[in-house]
A and B are shown apart, each in its own frame.
Chain A
Amino acid sequence: SQQGEEDPQALSIQEGENATMNCSYKTSINNLQWYRQNSGRGLVHLILIRSNEREKHSGRLRVTLDTSKKSSSLLITASRAADTASYFCATVYGGSQGNLIFGKGTKLSVKP
Protein backbone atom coordinates (compact mmCIF):
# COMPACT_ATOMS: atom_id res chain seq x y z
CA SER A 1 0.00 0.00 0.00
CA GLN A 2 1.10 3.58 -0.55
CA GLN A 3 2.25 5.35 2.58
CA GLY A 4 2.46 8.93 1.42
CA GLU A 5 -0.42 11.17 0.54
CA GLU A 6 0.25 14.33 -1.40
CA ASP A 7 -1.94 17.37 -1.21
CA PRO A 8 -3.28 18.88 -3.39
CA GLN A 9 -3.81 16.22 -6.06
CA ALA A 10 -3.61 18.92 -8.73
CA LEU A 11 -2.32 22.49 -8.73
CA SER A 12 -2.50 25.08 -11.48
CA ILE A 13 -0.54 28.35 -11.22
CA GLN A 14 0.88 31.12 -13.39
CA GLU A 15 4.54 31.35 -14.29
CA GLY A 16 6.44 33.26 -11.63
CA GLU A 17 4.19 32.18 -8.76
CA ASN A 18 5.29 29.84 -5.99
CA ALA A 19 3.97 26.29 -5.77
CA THR A 20 3.61 24.42 -2.49
CA MET A 21 2.91 20.70 -2.26
CA ASN A 22 2.42 18.76 0.93
CA CYS A 23 3.02 15.16 1.83
CA SER A 24 1.88 13.16 4.83
CA TYR A 25 3.09 9.71 5.80
CA LYS A 26 2.17 7.09 8.34
CA THR A 27 5.17 5.46 10.02
CA SER A 28 8.58 6.59 11.23
CA ILE A 29 11.04 7.19 8.44
CA ASN A 30 14.75 7.06 7.71
CA ASN A 31 14.45 9.74 5.06
CA LEU A 32 11.95 11.37 2.71
CA GLN A 33 12.61 12.11 -0.94
CA TRP A 34 10.87 14.19 -3.59
CA TYR A 35 10.78 13.17 -7.24
CA ARG A 36 9.49 14.79 -10.41
CA GLN A 37 7.97 12.92 -13.33
CA ASN A 38 7.20 14.42 -16.69
CA SER A 39 4.31 12.80 -18.52
CA GLY A 40 5.10 9.21 -19.48
CA ARG A 41 8.72 9.45 -18.40
CA GLY A 42 10.92 8.12 -15.63
CA LEU A 43 11.34 9.84 -12.28
CA VAL A 44 13.97 12.45 -11.55
CA HIS A 45 15.30 12.78 -8.01
CA LEU A 46 14.94 16.32 -6.63
CA ILE A 47 15.93 16.31 -2.98
CA LEU A 48 16.43 13.98 0.00
CA ILE A 49 15.84 15.06 3.58
CA ARG A 50 16.86 12.84 6.48
CA SER A 51 14.72 12.28 9.55
CA ASN A 52 17.02 14.43 11.71
CA GLU A 53 16.84 17.39 9.31
CA ARG A 54 14.12 20.02 9.30
CA GLU A 55 14.76 22.00 6.13
CA LYS A 56 16.75 21.66 2.95
CA HIS A 57 17.29 23.87 -0.08
CA SER A 58 18.33 23.11 -3.64
CA GLY A 59 18.15 25.96 -6.15
CA ARG A 60 14.51 27.06 -6.33
CA LEU A 61 13.39 24.11 -4.19
CA ARG A 62 12.81 24.20 -0.45
CA VAL A 63 11.77 21.11 1.49
CA THR A 64 10.68 21.00 5.09
CA LEU A 65 10.12 17.98 7.29
CA ASP A 66 8.08 17.79 10.49
CA THR A 67 8.49 14.33 11.97
CA SER A 68 6.10 15.09 14.85
CA LYS A 69 3.31 15.69 12.32
CA LYS A 70 4.65 13.10 9.89
CA SER A 71 4.52 15.63 7.07
CA SER A 72 6.73 17.35 4.54
CA SER A 73 6.30 20.19 2.10
CA LEU A 74 7.96 21.05 -1.19
CA LEU A 75 8.08 24.71 -2.24
CA ILE A 76 9.04 25.66 -5.78
CA THR A 77 9.74 29.37 -6.02
CA ALA A 78 9.38 31.52 -9.15
CA SER A 79 7.84 28.64 -11.11
CA ARG A 80 8.43 28.17 -14.83
CA ALA A 81 6.41 26.41 -17.51
CA ALA A 82 9.13 23.73 -17.54
CA ASP A 83 8.20 22.85 -13.93
CA THR A 84 4.94 21.36 -15.22
CA ALA A 85 5.07 17.73 -14.07
CA SER A 86 3.86 15.34 -11.39
CA TYR A 87 5.65 15.54 -8.07
CA PHE A 88 5.90 12.57 -5.71
CA CYS A 89 7.11 12.25 -2.19
CA ALA A 90 8.63 8.91 -1.27
CA THR A 91 9.65 7.62 2.12
CA VAL A 92 12.20 5.12 3.29
CA TYR A 93 10.67 3.88 6.49
CA GLY A 94 12.74 3.02 9.51
CA GLY A 95 12.74 -0.76 9.23
CA SER A 96 13.18 -1.05 5.50
CA GLN A 97 16.18 -1.84 3.34
CA GLY A 98 15.79 1.23 1.20
CA ASN A 99 12.78 0.57 -1.00
CA LEU A 100 10.75 3.72 -1.59
CA ILE A 101 7.08 4.03 -0.65
CA PHE A 102 5.47 6.61 -2.93
CA GLY A 103 2.36 8.72 -2.63
CA LYS A 104 -0.05 9.32 -5.49
CA GLY A 105 1.57 12.59 -6.47
CA THR A 106 0.60 16.18 -7.13
CA LYS A 107 0.07 17.19 -10.74
CA LEU A 108 1.48 20.70 -11.20
CA SER A 109 0.57 22.81 -14.20
CA VAL A 110 2.44 26.10 -14.69
CA LYS A 111 0.85 28.35 -17.29
CA PRO A 112 3.05 30.78 -19.24
Chain B
Amino acid sequence: DTGVSQNPRHKITKRGQNVTFRCDPISEHNRLYWYRQTLGQGPEFLTYFQNEAQLEKSRLLSDRFSAERPKGSFSTLEIQRTEQGDSAMYLCASSLEGGGYEQYFGPGTRLTVT
Protein backbone atom coordinates (compact mmCIF):
# COMPACT_ATOMS: atom_id res chain seq x y z
CA ASP B 1 0.00 0.00 0.00
CA THR B 2 1.57 3.28 -1.07
CA GLY B 3 -0.94 5.63 0.55
CA VAL B 4 -0.43 7.89 3.55
CA SER B 5 -0.17 5.97 6.80
CA GLN B 6 -0.57 7.20 10.37
CA ASN B 7 0.28 5.59 13.69
CA PRO B 8 -1.19 4.96 16.09
CA ARG B 9 -4.79 4.91 14.89
CA HIS B 10 -6.14 5.49 18.38
CA LYS B 11 -4.53 6.95 21.49
CA ILE B 12 -6.07 7.34 24.92
CA THR B 13 -4.03 9.34 27.37
CA LYS B 14 -4.46 11.06 30.69
CA ARG B 15 -4.43 14.82 30.95
CA GLY B 16 -0.92 16.14 31.41
CA GLN B 17 0.80 13.33 29.53
CA ASN B 18 2.79 13.80 26.31
CA VAL B 19 1.81 12.04 23.10
CA THR B 20 3.50 11.64 19.74
CA PHE B 21 1.93 10.71 16.43
CA ARG B 22 3.67 9.60 13.27
CA CYS B 23 2.79 10.16 9.61
CA ASP B 24 4.38 8.46 6.62
CA PRO B 25 3.50 10.31 3.41
CA ILE B 26 3.41 9.04 -0.14
CA SER B 27 7.08 8.67 -1.01
CA GLU B 28 7.30 11.07 -3.95
CA HIS B 29 5.36 13.84 -2.19
CA ASN B 30 7.53 16.61 -0.78
CA ARG B 31 4.67 18.44 0.95
CA LEU B 32 3.21 17.18 4.22
CA TYR B 33 0.32 18.75 6.13
CA TRP B 34 -1.18 18.25 9.59
CA TYR B 35 -4.85 19.00 10.31
CA ARG B 36 -7.06 18.58 13.36
CA GLN B 37 -10.73 17.64 13.19
CA THR B 38 -13.25 17.73 16.01
CA LEU B 39 -16.65 16.09 15.95
CA GLY B 40 -19.06 17.64 13.48
CA GLN B 41 -16.48 20.04 12.06
CA GLY B 42 -14.28 20.12 9.02
CA PRO B 43 -10.53 19.65 9.39
CA GLU B 44 -8.51 22.69 10.49
CA PHE B 45 -5.01 23.33 9.26
CA LEU B 46 -2.21 23.08 11.82
CA THR B 47 1.09 23.15 9.94
CA TYR B 48 2.88 22.04 6.81
CA PHE B 49 6.32 21.04 5.61
CA GLN B 50 8.03 21.24 2.29
CA ASN B 51 10.71 18.59 2.48
CA GLU B 52 12.21 19.04 5.96
CA ALA B 53 11.35 22.73 6.30
CA GLN B 54 8.30 23.73 8.35
CA LEU B 55 6.97 26.64 6.31
CA GLU B 56 3.71 27.61 7.95
CA LYS B 57 2.06 27.18 11.33
CA SER B 58 -1.52 27.99 12.26
CA ARG B 59 -2.22 29.99 15.40
CA LEU B 60 -4.08 26.85 16.50
CA LEU B 61 -0.66 25.31 17.05
CA SER B 62 0.07 26.36 20.61
CA ASP B 63 3.49 26.11 22.25
CA ARG B 64 2.55 22.65 23.51
CA PHE B 65 2.50 21.35 19.94
CA SER B 66 5.62 20.62 17.94
CA ALA B 67 6.06 18.97 14.59
CA GLU B 68 9.13 17.69 12.83
CA ARG B 69 9.98 16.13 9.52
CA PRO B 70 13.60 15.01 9.70
CA LYS B 71 15.17 14.19 6.33
CA GLY B 72 11.97 15.20 4.58
CA SER B 73 10.36 11.80 4.92
CA PHE B 74 8.04 10.84 7.79
CA SER B 75 6.75 13.45 10.21
CA THR B 76 5.93 13.45 13.91
CA LEU B 77 3.48 15.63 15.81
CA GLU B 78 4.03 15.87 19.56
CA ILE B 79 1.59 17.32 22.08
CA GLN B 80 3.02 18.07 25.49
CA ARG B 81 0.97 18.32 28.68
CA THR B 82 -2.21 17.23 26.93
CA GLU B 83 -5.51 18.87 27.81
CA GLN B 84 -9.04 17.57 27.34
CA GLY B 85 -9.52 20.14 24.57
CA ASP B 86 -6.83 18.35 22.57
CA SER B 87 -9.19 15.41 22.04
CA ALA B 88 -9.70 15.24 18.27
CA MET B 89 -8.80 13.37 15.12
CA TYR B 90 -5.35 14.34 13.87
CA LEU B 91 -5.05 14.00 10.12
CA CYS B 92 -1.95 13.99 7.98
CA ALA B 93 -1.93 14.64 4.24
CA SER B 94 0.71 14.80 1.56
CA SER B 95 0.90 16.29 -1.90
CA LEU B 96 3.22 17.28 -4.68
CA GLU B 97 4.84 20.69 -4.37
CA GLY B 98 2.65 23.72 -4.90
CA GLY B 99 -0.87 24.70 -3.94
CA GLY B 100 -2.49 23.42 -7.09
CA TYR B 101 -2.48 19.75 -6.25
CA GLU B 102 -4.89 17.51 -4.41
CA GLN B 103 -3.91 16.29 -0.99
CA TYR B 104 -3.96 12.63 -0.04
CA PHE B 105 -5.05 12.00 3.52
CA GLY B 106 -4.12 9.27 5.95
CA PRO B 107 -6.71 7.48 8.12
CA GLY B 108 -6.02 9.77 11.07
CA THR B 109 -5.08 9.30 14.72
CA ARG B 110 -7.97 9.67 17.14
CA LEU B 111 -6.77 11.16 20.42
CA THR B 112 -8.85 10.94 23.57
CA VAL B 113 -7.61 12.82 26.63
CA THR B 114 -9.25 11.71 29.87
Contacts and interface: CB of A to CB of B under 8 A. Distances in A.
B108 A41 contact: yes
A4 B45 CA distance: 13
Interface stretch (A14-22, A67-75, A76-84, A88-96): A88-96
A71 B48 CA distance: 26
B100 A99 contact: no
A27 interface: no
A98 interface: yes
Contact of A99 (B42, B56, B101, B108): B56
B73 interface: no
A50 interface: yes
Nearest to A105: B42
Interface residues of A, number: 27
A99 B41 CA distance: 17
Contact of A31 (B35, B99, B106, B107): B99
A30 B105 CA distance: 20
Nearest to B102: A45
Interface in B65-114: 89, 91, 93, 95, 98-108, 110
B31 A33 contact: no
Contact of A45 (B44, B58, B104, B108): B104
Contacts of A88: 42-43
B99 A30 contact: yes
B92 to A, nearest CB: 9
Interface in B28-79: 31, 33, 35, 40-45, 48, 50, 55-56, 58
A100 B107 contact: no
Nearest to A48: B102
Contacts of B89: 40
27 contacts: A2-B42, A2-B44, A33-B103, A40-B110, A42-B91, A42-B106, A42-B108, A45-B104, A48-B102, A88-B42, A92-B99, A92-B100, A96-B99, A97-B50, A97-B55, A97-B56, A98-B48, A98-B100, A98-B101, A99-B45, A99-B56, A100-B33, A100-B35, A100-B45, A100-B103, A104-B41, A104-B42
